[in-house]
């Protein structure tokens, strides 16, 4: 049995990962500052601390004795990062350096970092492959990539094991659905269940590969223990369904029997048009197999939100830079 630490344990990804580790018989310690999570996401068997990862001394205290650290905590707001760069960078890059420093002091054996496909930016080759030259084009992607480089650099000096996971656009139950700044599928479901039309930026032909949470967890659990993954960067998520935002809205509307008439707004600055990752390396190294289609995943999300109840959107993060380029949906609170 291992002692596993999970940052962001009240969040969408972290809470599911904690459940899996507990199912496998491991002891789980976790922390969350609740920016992006729900309290009832936390498994009661988790040794839970409501600490912010930026406080290094606190991280050193609660990672002591842990074998593995999964760093899931972040403020994963690509679009917002162009307008709140300080907030996003502090809660992506700075917290990673705080946690890795604490983990080194605590002599943690392996550090598993959950990065983002935002690391790739705009690429000529689609789907993205792990050895592509990274061209992040917003502060969030830049912070994630910078964190990766720091983890790799420090490992050369301090001799710990690391793995960098690059999840696709993960969806599923427990995802925050009252957040107006991220989680497009959750936003659309919450709106349509309230009889409101979704908002789509640009022409809606941006394409993404949506990854259901359980398919990702099947891979992530292996990153703590397999020897062949040490020092690797691995995309995690499907490459079979490459879906436009327009198609996503139509699929949700069909499942809800909703009369879809989306409202189109201006493009969001610096948004990547085509973002899909190759899963070949995950298939080869982790025996990754997609079990959930996009539609099946959306059905489970709809059931979750229906049972929990729709919610008004909470504009809970400060927009640092207001200009004529700031999306009207945020400035005018259109959700």
- What stretches in the chain show pLDDT beneath 70? none
Ramachandran assignment for 154, one of left (phi > 0), alpha (psi -120 to 50 degrees), beta (any other) = alpha
> CA angle, 56 as apex, 52 and 60 as ends, to 5°?
105
Question: Would you give the distance in Å from CA 326 to the centre of its chain?
Answer: 23
How do residues 211-249 score in pLDDT, each as one tens digit? 999 999 999 999 999 999 999 999 999 999 999 999 999
User: Who's near 309: CB < 8 A, 6+ residues apart?
Assistant: none
Q: What is the pLDDT of residue 204?
A: 98
pLDDT at 18: 98
pLDDT for the residue numbered 20: 98
State if pTM tops 0.85. yes
pLDDT of residue 300: 98
pLDDT score, position 265: 98
| Parallel, antiparallel or unpaired: strands 274-275 and 207-208 | parallel
pLDDT reported for residue 239? 93
Q: So what's the pLDDT on residue 259? A: 98
- Determine if residue 309 is left, alpha or beta; phi over 0 gives left, psi from -120 to 50 gives alpha, anything else beta: left
pLDDT, tens digit, 9 for 90 and up, residues 112-125: 999 999 999 999 99
Please report the domains of the chain, with CATH numbers, ordered by start residue. Answer: 3-171+210-236 (3.40.50.720), 184-208+241-274+294-331 (3.90.25.10)
CA max distance for the chain: 58
């Amino acid at each position: 049995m291992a002692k596993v630490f999970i940052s962001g344990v009240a969040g969408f990804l972290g809470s599911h990962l904690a459940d899996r580790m507990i199912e496998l018989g491991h002891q789980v310690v976790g922390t969350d500052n609740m920016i992006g999570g729900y309290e009832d996401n936390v498994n009661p068997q988790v040794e839970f601390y409501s600490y912010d990862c930026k406080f290094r001394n606190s991280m050193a205290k609660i990672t002591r004795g842990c074998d593995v650290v999964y760093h899931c905590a972040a403020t994963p707001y690509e679009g917002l990062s162009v307008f709140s760069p300080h907030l996003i960078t502090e809660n992506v890059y700075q917290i990673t350096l705080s946690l890795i420093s604490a983990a080194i002091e605590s002599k943690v054996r392996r550090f598993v970092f959950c990065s983002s496909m935002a690391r790739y930016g705009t690429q000529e080759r689609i789907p993205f492959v792990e050895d592509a030259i990274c061209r992040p084009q917003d502060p969030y992607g830049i912070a994630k990539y910078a964190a990766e480089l720091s983890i790799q650099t420090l490992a050369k000096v301090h001799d710990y094991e690391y793995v960098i996971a690059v999840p696709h656009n993960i969806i599923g139950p427990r995802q925050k659905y009252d957040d107006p700044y991220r989680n497009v599928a959750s936003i659309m479901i919450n709106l349509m269940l309230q009889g409101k039309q979704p908002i789509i930026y640009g022409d809606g032909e941006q394409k993404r590969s949506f990854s259901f949470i359980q398919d990702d967890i099947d891979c992530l659990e292996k990153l703590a223990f397999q020897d062949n993954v040490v020092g690797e960067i691995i995309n995690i998520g499907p490459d079979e369904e490459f879906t436009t935002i327009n198609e996503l809205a139509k699929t949700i509307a069909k499942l809800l029997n909703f009369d879809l008439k989306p409202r189109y707004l201006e493009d969001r600055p610096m948004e990547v048009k085509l973002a899909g990752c190759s899963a070949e390396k995950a298939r080869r190294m982790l025996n990754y197999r997609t079990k959930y289609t996009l539609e099946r995943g959306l059905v489970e999300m709809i059931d979750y939100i229906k049972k929990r109840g729709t919610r008004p959107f909470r504009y809970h993060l400060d927009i640092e830079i207001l200009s004529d380029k700031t999306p009207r949906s945020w400035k005018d609170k259109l959700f």
